[in-house]
Chain A
Amino acid sequence: MELNAAFRKTFPGGATVQAELRLDLAQFGLTVLFGPSGCGKTTLLRCLAGLETPDEGRIEAGTDVWFAASPRARVPAAARGIGLVFQEAVLFPHLDVTGNIAFGLRGWTRDARRRRVEELVGLMGLEGLAHRRARTLSGGEKQRVALARALAPRPRLVLLDEPFAALDRASAEQLRHSLRQVLAKLSVPAILVTHNPVEALALGDRMLLMAGGRIVQDGAPAVLLAGLDTPPDEDLAAVVRTRVAGRTEGLLRLEAGGVTLLAPDPGGAFREAYACIRGEGVALERGPRGATTPRNHLEATILALEPRGALTRVRLDAGFPLQALLTTWACQDLELAVGQRVGALVKASAIKVVPIEA
């Protein structure tokens, strides 16, 4: 079965969201919907879920027509079988954890309902919380319950609208880790909205890039992120697919494009990984190599200089595409020019390693 959507929605202010996408609903796959805030990601999700009605187009799931502009057809959200998780876990405050998870199980037998709730409590690691009220749970626990609640009625598709954004770093990391496993185990396809590139790489099988209310690119997360003219995130200097060449003292030796990078080892047995380099961790130098602390010293060629007010984006070829963000004043000081050879210093601590599962 396939989800097939092509629709347009215009808001009273004039903002328009236009989307065309196909998604396999028959098997697990995690599609990342990626783009800056305000680009229409949430509207796209809401139209799919049936919480917003498009102005034009069609949305079909297999042979079911969920929405058609003419002749007019609209299946309400309640009949679409889509699970939804918001940025902040909105749990029913008058129900306990069990009541929340079982909310969508009306019409199931008592026994089936109990078994399903138990299964999800186990999968989401909610043991011992079954009779707690929402307001007594931590942010991470709440979001787990929200996810369990969305998954309980066996939805055809789960929509996750930045589910980690409101969590502290540790809880987000934990939930991110279990999310993919749980979805794969239940074999539920999902669309995950995010503007975090590391999240997109770590979780996504496929990425839809949105900008200005449209899906502008569709492909593998690493390919799209590495090939972006302007990084989606000011903070991201590069995304490189690398091979693990060795491990020493908590550091990984990663090889890519004939270059070796040292980066913190996140642990685990993997042979390949994406190295996501944070922009603030890249510095440039000219002339002889000085006594510097950064572990990674790369020879690079300047491809372009893009001044943006006080800052200048320097695009480099370091064996892989790399960007540095410098003050315009520093660029002038270093007398940088296109075609020049420079040294790019990359702090090991500025590299986030995202393992690629074998």
Chain B
Amino acid sequence: MDWEAILLSLRLAAASVALLAPLGVALAWPLAMGRFRGKLLLEALTSMPLILPPTVMGFYLIVALGPLSPVGRLWEHLTGARLVFSFQGLLLAQVVTNLPFFLQPLVASLGGVDRRLLEVASTLGARPLGVYLRVALPLAWRGLLSAVVLSFAHAIGEFGVVLMVGGNLPGRTRTASIALFDQVEAFDLAGANRTALLLLAFALAVLMGTAWLRSRERAWN
């Protein structure tokens, strides 16, 4: 078992969720409740990683983060290192790729909150941000938890984008799913089996957990 790769996957997933959480919480509210121009576009853009082939995502991310891009140049100017094929570059790519997995359960959960509660909160003096943070978000906590768990799990399993943006550098960008790919390529089928089983068991546990959360949410409302 390539423990280095597994640890890297866990570290990468945890860091992605830490960045995703504030971004996702900020984007979920207008997506769930807002009526504004460009909402459809925002919805489509944030859902794109669900549909696009990971290689397409990966390609555009390389272009966006590469040494010739403004982001890549700025990063290189600030740190002296390249963003692509680094842990940090991989992290940014993971955030973009996993955004829909964070947003979808949270937006759905926010959409299920009784509107009258939000109206009452506003008549009691709560401004829109207060209504969100004091009423909507606490009531959608199961959706938030699902969002954290699902995006974490998906970050662990991501393959295509990681390979495109991160390459396959042991200890830096070689994650568990890429280690599995390497094991198969090297005909280490026993090792591949162990890695695959571990990832499979993890995914199963996560999905059962989120399904349980969702069933409890219906009972609450």
Contact = CB atoms under 8 A, between A and B. Distances in A.
Interface of B: 114, 116-117, 119-127, 130, 134-135, 138-139, 220
The dominant DSSP class at the B interface is: helix
B135 A84 contact: no
Interface residues of A, number: 24
A93 interface: yes
Contacts of B125: 78-79, 81, 104, 106, 153
Nearest to B135: A92
A92 B117 CA distance: 7
Nearest to A159: B123
Interface string A75-112: 01111111110100010111000000001101000000
A146 B134 CA distance: 17
Given A93-B220, A94-B139, A149 B124 contact: yes
Contact of B138 (A49, A86, A94, A146): A94
B116 A86 contact: yes
Leading 5 A-B pairs by shortest Cβ distance: A104-B124, A77-B122, A84-B123, A90-B116, A94-B138
A186 interface: no
Contacts of B120: 84, 86, 90, 92, 146, 149
A11 B120 CA distance: 22
A84 B121 CA distance: 10
A184 interface: no
Contacts of A149: 120, 124
Nearest to B141: A94
Nearest to B134: A103
A90 B130 CA distance: 18
A77 B119 contact: yes
Contact of B119 (A84, A104, A106): A84
8 contacts: A50-B122, A76-B122, A77-B122, A78-B123, A78-B125, A78-B126, A150-B124, A153-B125
Given A90-B114, A90-B116, A90-B117, A51 B122 contact: yes
Contacts of A49: 119, 123
A78 B135 contact: no
A79 B122 CA distance: 9
Given A94-B138, A94-B139, A51 B123 contact: yes
A79 B130 CA distance: 13
Interface string A45-86: 000011100000000000000000000000011111111101
Contacts of A76: 122, 127
B126 A51 contact: no
A150 B116 CA distance: 14
Contacts of A81: 125
A103 B120 CA distance: 10
A122 to B, nearest CB: 20
Given A93-B220, A94-B138, A78 B122 contact: yes
A153 to B, nearest CB: 6
Interface in A112-150: 146, 149-150
Contacts of B139: 92-94
A78 B127 contact: yes
Contacts of A79: 125
A76 B122 CA distance: 8
Contacts of B126: 78, 103-104, 106
Contacts of A84: 119-120, 123
A74 to B, nearest CB: 13
A92 B138 CA distance: 10
A169 B11 CA distance: 61
A88 B119 CA distance: 14
A146 B120 CA distance: 10
Given A51-B123, A78-B125, A83-B123, 7 more contacts: A49-B119, A76-B127, A92-B117, A93-B139, A103-B121, A104-B126, A106-B130
A153 B126 CA distance: 12
Contacts of B135: 92
